[in-house]
A and B are shown apart, each in its own frame.
Chain A
Amino acid sequence: MLRILTKPLKETYSCIIRTKTTLDHSKVPQIVESELQEQFVRGSGPGGQSVNKTANCVVLKHIPTGIIVKCHDSRSLDENRKTARELLIRKLDNIINQEESIEAQKKRIDDKKSATKRKKREKLTLLKTEWKKRENLE
């Protein structure tokens, strides 16, 4: 039965609606720029226009934990700096939150999905085999 809402949903419900596949981001650690140490390959001298090197590798160290990540995915230094921070957050999340990390949550959801799919396939195969048996009998 449809209930017509006279008020917008946000006003009616004040809690966060969570489904089976929503990821819980509440425990993901935040990084503070002042706690990071970055290293770039740029050579000595004044830099800037006077250098043309294609090495854009970023080495990022999280000082409080000593964790180091490296990123050389892109040809843009700026993009590599952003990606390095994402990598660092993911690594910190896995170490600090372990089972509750985003990666662990994603893996659980994926494992569940594969298990459900597998069961469905097996059931279908069983139904097919039984149908064949019945047909052969006739």
Chain B
Amino acid sequence: MDLLLKPEQIKQIDHLCKKRLDRMPVQYIIQEWDFRDLTLKMSRPVFIPRPETEMLVDIVLNEIDRKGADTVLELCCGSGAISLALLKARSQLCITAIDKSEKACQLTRENAHINNLSDRIKIIQKEINEDFNLREKFDIIVSNPPYVSSKDTIQLQPEILLYEDPEALYGGDDGLTVIKSILKVCSCLLNYHGRLFLEVDPSHPTLIKLWLQKNDSLGLKFIRFYKDFCDKERFVEIIKEK
């Protein structure tokens, strides 16, 4: 059946189309998007979850089941996609989610509320640096940190360059700056035999493995990488050994 639009509706569509012509991402125009079985609110400039990251959730769920874990730490949570997807999938879980951006923390709080998961998530605004301390240790840590290198930043689509938070994307010259900070901090945050799961750029797994070997005082060992649906090395698994 055909639907006849009222003039106000046509005006609204026009308004939305103008935004799209200005290269605003669809997710920011309609202010929502889906991630696995959740619908999340999207709010500029908080980073929009990418489809690859859905697979990271599966990888972490596997570890949660293997260990029988009931707590997880997420670093750089953004809109809260990973944490909330984990919470939705496992009712026994409680998660601590960290982001340095106040807007990201606020959005995560809203998304937790929308999806009735607020009672099992603790959201803390904190930056990852040498002073980072949580007074708690974890068996499982997950993160999708900023990992875009300067070379790749230049080639980003306008949708990303103009609208998404550059702090959520830029990982320094080689894309590893924030990742290295996370590795240092996780050395103290992980329990013995605890694991860290990261989403990274395809160029990173080999580099991370070498860096951890060189910086063995951290007591972290590279276990393996996982490929994404485009056959790119996208996720790394690291264990705390000492």
Which size bracket describes the interface of A in this complex? 20 to 34
B54/A46 in contact, CB under 8 A: no
Tell whether B110 is near chain A: CB-to-CB under 8 Å: no
Tell whether B155 is near chain A: CB-to-CB under 8 Å: yes
A34 vs chain B, min Cβ distance (A) = 14
B229/A38 in contact, CB under 8 A: yes
Hey, which chain A residues are within 8 Å of B152, CB to CB?
Answer: 45-46, 50
Q: Give how many B residues have a beta carbon under 8 Å from the other chain's beta carbons.
A: 37
Hey, which chain B residues are within 8 Å of A51, CB to CB?
Answer: 50, 157
B34/A48 in contact, CB under 8 A: no
A76/B54 in contact, CB under 8 A: yes
A52/B159 in contact, CB under 8 A: yes
Known contacts A50-B155, A50-B156, A52-B25; is A77 also within 8 Å of B203 by CB?
Answer: no
Contact residues, B148-192 vs A (CB, 8 A): 148, 152, 155-157, 159-160, 164, 169
Interface contact tally, CB-CB below 8 A: 78
Residue A76 contacts which of B34, B146, B147, B232 (CB distance < 8 angstroms)?
B34
Hey, which chain A residues are within 8 Å of B160, CB to CB?
Answer: 50, 52
Known contacts A42-B230, A77-B54, A78-B55; is A52 also within 8 Å of B164 by CB?
Answer: yes
A47, B156: Cα distance in complex, Å? 10
Tell me which of A38, A45, A51, A52 has the highest count of chain B C-beta atoms within 10 A of its own C-beta: A52
Known contacts A46-B203, A47-B230, A48-B228; is A76 also within 8 Å of B35 by CB?
Answer: yes
B48/A45 in contact, CB under 8 A: no
Q: Would you give 14 A-B contacts (Cβ < 8 Å), ordered by A?
A: A45-B152, A46-B152, A46-B202, A47-B230, A48-B50, A49-B169, A52-B157, A56-B51, A74-B34, A76-B51, A76-B54, A78-B54, A78-B55, A81-B229
